[in-house]
Amino acid sequence: MDESQFTIPIAPENFKSGFVAIIGRPNVGKSTLMNKLVGQKIAITSPVAQTTRNRLQGILTTSELQIIFVDTPGIHKPHHELGRVLVKNAQSAINSVDLVLFLVDSSTVAGKGDRFIIDLLKHCQVPVVLGLNKVDLQPENYQELDDSYLQLIPGKNWSVAKFSATTGTGTETLPNILAENLEPGPYYYPPDLVTDQPERFIMAELIREQILLQTRQEIPHSVAIAIERVEETPKITKVFAAINVERKSQKGIIIGNKGSMLKQIGSEARQQIQKLIAGKVYLELFVKVEPKWRQSRLRLAEFGYRVED
């Protein structure tokens, strides 16, 4: 193992660094943007709202700056204990970072959810950058869409950036815009690190992503992944994981006809995990029924969802 990976150098003069919370409504592209900026897939994405559950940290380091991105759950009105935990964590992130990147979907007009977040940010003590995402989906006459967001922040000294997290258009200048709003600071992490999360966490997230992608709305958020054990040998890494659902009917959907769905989920997830660890992977999945786990603080804690301090 290369020990330089874990060495934190002394920052040069005028080096900028800080923690940046990416906040916004569900499905505005927060995880996609973080993956694009750090240059590696560490956060899962899906067409289903509320994909992100944990405050995942992605790390972007250049010769001039280090930005630690905190990818927060989409801020929404919660309907169960898991939802309340997610929203509380997202709100606490606003008050524990050096900068907030407020991400919006600029292909649609500003809505109630955006105004709700603006209200949350009224008392924010740190700088805010408004990120107009999804410019690739804007019509030719986009000014009205942009104005619907800009009019929400009259009198606020916010920087504004336009980009597409999906295509990468405009994302190359975003780090510099963020750095303009950060103070000089040290390296917080070794330059080669792209996330502070352990591999097991990322493995579990990659499995959960495939469940969301393959089942779509049928299994929205009633699923939690537990990596039971990992066995490493020089030739292969064996991963054994439990898929926890709330109802027997959901177990049936995930297993599928003659196990077809579980096989598809396993095959796709295994390929993603192989990219993560850059080696061969054997993945074994099994499904458990844990009734009402999203309502139980104990179960939420067991599956790694804790209210942030």
Name the CA dihedral angle for 134, 135, 140, 141, rounded to a multiple of 10 degrees.
Answer: 90
3-state secondary structure of 19: strand
Please give the structure tokens belonging to residue 108: 């649609």
Please give the structure tokens belonging to residue 23: 């906040």
* Residues 139, 159: Cα–Cα separation, whole Å: 23
**Residue 138 class from Cβ within 10 Å (0-12 exposed, 13-18 middle, 19+ buried)?**
middle
Given a contact cutoff of 8 angstroms between Cβ atoms, the answer to whether 305 and 54 are in contact is yes
Please give the structure tokens belonging to residue 260: 């077809």
- Give the per-residue pLDDT at 235: 92
- Give the per-residue pLDDT at 301: 62
* Residues 158, 122: Cα–Cα separation, whole Å: 12
3-state secondary structure of 303: coil
- Give the per-residue pLDDT at 304: 61
Can you list the domains of the chain with their CATH numbers?
3-179 (3.40.50.300), 199-302 (3.30.300.20)
**CA end-to-end span of the chain:** 34
**Nearest-5° Cα angle at 209, 49 to 23:** 45
Residues contacting 123, CB < 8 A, separation 6+: none
Given a contact cutoff of 8 angstroms between Cβ atoms, the answer to whether 206 and 44 are in contact is yes
Note if the pTM is more than 0.85. no
Tens of pLDDT along the chain (309 residues)? 444 455 888 899 999 999 998 888 888 988 889 889 988 777 766 554 444 445 567 899 999 999 999 877 666 555 556 566 666 666 666 778 899 999 999 999 999 989 888 887 877 888 999 999 999 999 999 999 999 999 988 677 899 999 999 999 999 999 999 999 999 999 998 888 888 777 888 888 889 888 888 887 556 567 888 888 889 888 999 999 999 888 888 899 899 999 999 999 999 999 988 887 778 999 999 998 888 766 666 666 665 655 454
